[in-house]
């Protein structure tokens, strides 16, 4: 049985998209440049930087564009290289580009059991453009070829008149209701839910889908994480265009290009208790895979697979039911302190506005006492 060694959240900075959903984060951030950027590295170079040997084992690599992930042809080539390397790969897609799914389905059959699709069902845009049937045909196409998938909707107010229709379509075509993702307002840094409903009413609509993904996301929305987090070591963010690796969202100190010298070891180091985010913004990925081992949470597969309808193959189900802790060693107390202490001291100096140049032996003693108390 293959165990997950690391989780890599990859951004493909393509901002072009063939849909224009109201709630799209790219539109919210006014970031829609409609570009398909050229990669700085070839798919073969990307593979040689992400070998199983360099990463320490088989990883789950999730690829998401800022627009539609599958618009550039190179997205298929990158996935092929990573699958050949032995990794498991997820692609988040709007499910409309039939030619790309045909290309995936022509991969060697043994690679397809490692391939996972997160299909976002952008219902209104698909309906308006007459693409609903294309969407469901593409989900069925990859399923038949031996891939795993999840279909999810972003819950937002525009969908309210259509919830019954969405449920019926998914039951008829996929044998189960879609999973539900909560939609955030990312037009400013407050990160509230994108809805005019009360939180209770919003949750009631989401709950009607009986979606573990929705329940988990809502439970962890705006909950500041204070536990020791292994993001930065057991997981990281990666820009596939530039090769720049960061520990996590808002925890991007010391970014490093890991494509430039693929023979160099990667400097993994956990965020620890220093998470700068207001809450774990992608908790359904990171937390469910186990970056915070002290927190007992459902697995990635439990949040997505509709077991009654077998959305996952047995291989994928077993891999994504696993936790990162099973193939990684937790840090010793000393190692944890080495990560935690320098930041704690820096925060203390910033909060008390003490200048190091003005320190005297007596003031150092008093600071030491205060730090011990904290
Ligand atoms: S708690 Fe979540 S957001 Fe914070 S560092 Fe860990 S994975 Fe990243």
| Statement to judge: residues 287 and 355 lie in one domain | no
| Statement to judge: residues 368 and 296 lie in one domain | no
Q: How confident is the model at residue 58 (pLDDT cuts 50, 70, 90)?
A: very high
What's the pLDDT tens digit per position in 73-109? Answer: 999 999 999 999 999 999 999 999 999 999 999 999 9
| Statement to judge: residues 321 and 344 lie in one domain | no
| Statement to judge: residues 64 and 90 lie in one domain | yes
Residue whose CB lies within 8 A of the most ligand 1 atoms, among 291, 300, 340, for a mutation test: 291
65: helix, strand or coil: strand
| Statement to judge: residues 321 and 339 lie in one domain | no
| Statement to judge: residues 311 and 350 lie in one domain | no
What's the pLDDT tens digit per position in 284-332? Answer: 999 999 999 999 999 999 999 999 999 999 999 999 999 999 999 999 9
Does 133 fall in a domain? Answer: yes
What's the pLDDT tens digit per position in 182-226? Answer: 887 766 666 778 888 888 899 999 999 999 999 999 999 889 999
Residue located nearest, by CA, to atom 4 of ligand 1: 275
Angstrom CA distances, 228 to 37, 238, 268, 298, 322, stand at 36, 22, 15, 18, 19
Q: Find how far residue 107's CA is from the centre of its chain.
A: 24
Q: What percent of the chain is predicted at pLDDT more than 90?
A: 71
Does 2 fall in a domain? Answer: no
Res. 37: pLDDT tops 80:
yes
Instruction: Region of 256 please: left (phi>0), alpha (psi -120 to 50) or beta.
Output: beta
Does 1 fall in a domain? Answer: no
DSSP 134-173: HHHHHHHHHHHHT-EEEEEEEE-GGGGGGHHHHHHHHHHH
d(CA 339, CA 257): 22
Task: Say if strands 88-93 and 148-155 run parallel, antiparallel, or are unpaired.
Answer: unpaired
Dihedral of alpha carbons 78, 82, 100, 176, sign: negative
Does 96 fall in a domain? Answer: yes
Q: Which residues line ligand 1 (CB under 6 A)?
A: 225, 229, 231, 248-249, 251, 271, 275, 277, 280-281, 286, 291
What's the pLDDT tens digit per position in 108-151? Answer: 999 999 999 999 999 999 999 999 999 999 999 999 999 999 99
| Statement to judge: residues 278 and 364 lie in one domain | no
Res. 27: pLDDT tops 70:
no
| Statement to judge: residues 164 and 294 lie in one domain | yes
For residue 360, how far is its CA from the centre of ligand 1 (angstroms)?
A: 38
For residue 243, how far is its CA from the centre of ligand 1 (angstroms)?
A: 21
Specify the DSSP class assigned to residue 253: S
| Statement to judge: residues 182 and 255 lie in one domain | yes
pLDDT for the residue numbered 31: 57
pLDDT for the residue numbered 338: 82
Give the CATH number for residue 148: 3.20.20
pLDDT for the residue numbered 16: 86
Mean pLDDT of 70-74: 96
Residue 216 and residue 295 in contact, taking contact as beta carbons nearer than 8 Å: no
Q: How confident is the model at residue 371 (pLDDT cuts 50, 70, 90)?
A: low
| Statement to judge: residues 212 and 356 lie in one domain | no
Residue whose CB lies within 8 A of the most ligand 1 atoms, among 8, 222, 224, 225, for a mutation test: 225
Does 172 fall in a domain? Answer: yes
Residue 311 and residue 174 in contact, taking contact as beta carbons nearer than 8 Å: yes
Tokens at 241, concatenated: 């265009």
For residue 221, how far is its CA from the centre of ligand 1 (angstroms)?
A: 12
For residue 201, how far is its CA from the centre of ligand 1 (angstroms)?
A: 28
pLDDT for the residue numbered 314: 97
Res. 34: pLDDT tops 90:
no
For residue 55, how far is its CA from the centre of ligand 1 (angstroms)?
A: 20
Residue whose CB lies within 8 A of the most ligand 1 atoms, among 249, 268, 269, for a mutation test: 249
Locus of tokens 């180091």: 269
The range of the structural domain enclosing residue 343 comes to 333-373
Residue located nearest, by CA, to atom 1 of ligand 1: 280
Domain count, the chain: 2
| Statement to judge: residues 253 and 297 lie in one domain | yes
pLDDT for the residue numbered 18: 79
Q: Which of 327, 347, 362 is the last residue of a domain?
A: 327
| Statement to judge: residues 67 and 152 lie in one domain | yes
For residue 307, how far is its CA from the centre of ligand 1 (angstroms)?
A: 28
Tokens at 19, concatenated: 């849909």
Q: Which of 327, 345, 364 is the last residue of a domain?
A: 327
Does 121 fall in a domain? Answer: yes
Other beta carbons within 10 Å of 148: 28
């Amino acid at each position: 049985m293959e165990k997950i060694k690391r989780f890599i959240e990859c951004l493909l900075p393509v901002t072009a998209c063939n849909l224009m959903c109201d709630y799209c984060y790219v539109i919210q951030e006014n970031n829609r440049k409609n570009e398909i950027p050229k990669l700085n590295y070839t798919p073969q170079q990307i593979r040689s930087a992400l070998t199983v040997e360099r990463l320490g084992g088989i990883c789950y690599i999730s690829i998401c564009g800022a627009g539609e992930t599958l618009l550039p042809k190179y997205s298929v080539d990158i996935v092929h290289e990573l699958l050949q390397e032995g990794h498991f790969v997820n692609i988040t897609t709007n499910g409309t580009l039939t030619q790309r799914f045909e290309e995936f389905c022509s991969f060697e059959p043994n690679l397809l059991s490692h391939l996972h699709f997160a299909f976002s069902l952008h219902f209104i845009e698909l309906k308006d453009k007459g693409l609903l049937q294309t969407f469901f045909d593409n989900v069925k196409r990859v399923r038949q070829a031996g891939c795993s998938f999840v279909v999810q909707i972003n819950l937002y107010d525009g969908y309210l008149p259509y919830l019954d229709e969405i449920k019926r379509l998914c039951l008829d075509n996929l044998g189960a209701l879609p999973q539900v993702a909560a939609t955030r307002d990312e037009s400013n840094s407050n990160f509230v839910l994108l809805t005019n409903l009360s939180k209770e009413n919003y949750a009631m609509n989401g709950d009607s889908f009986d979606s573990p993904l929705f329940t988990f996301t809502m439970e962890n929305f705006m909950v500041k994480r204070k536990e020791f987090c292994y993001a930065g070591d057991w997981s990281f963010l990666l820009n596939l265009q530039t090769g720049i690796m960061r520990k996590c969202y808002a925890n991007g100190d010391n970014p490093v290009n890991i494509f430039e010298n693929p023979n160099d070891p990667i400097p993994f180091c956990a965020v620890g208790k220093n998470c700068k985010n207001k809450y774990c913004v992608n908790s359904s990925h990171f937390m469910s895979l186990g970056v915070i081992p002290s927190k007992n949470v459902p697995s990635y597969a439990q949040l997505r697979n509709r077991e009654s309808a077998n959305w996952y193959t047995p291989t994928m189900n077993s891999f994504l039911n696993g936790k990162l802790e099973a193939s990684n060693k937790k840090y010793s107390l000393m190692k944890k302190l080495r990560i935690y202490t320098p930041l704690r001291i820096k925060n203390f100096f910033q909060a008390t506005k003490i200048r190091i140049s003005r320190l005297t032996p007596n003031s150092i003693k008093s600071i030491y006492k205060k730090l011990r108390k904290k």
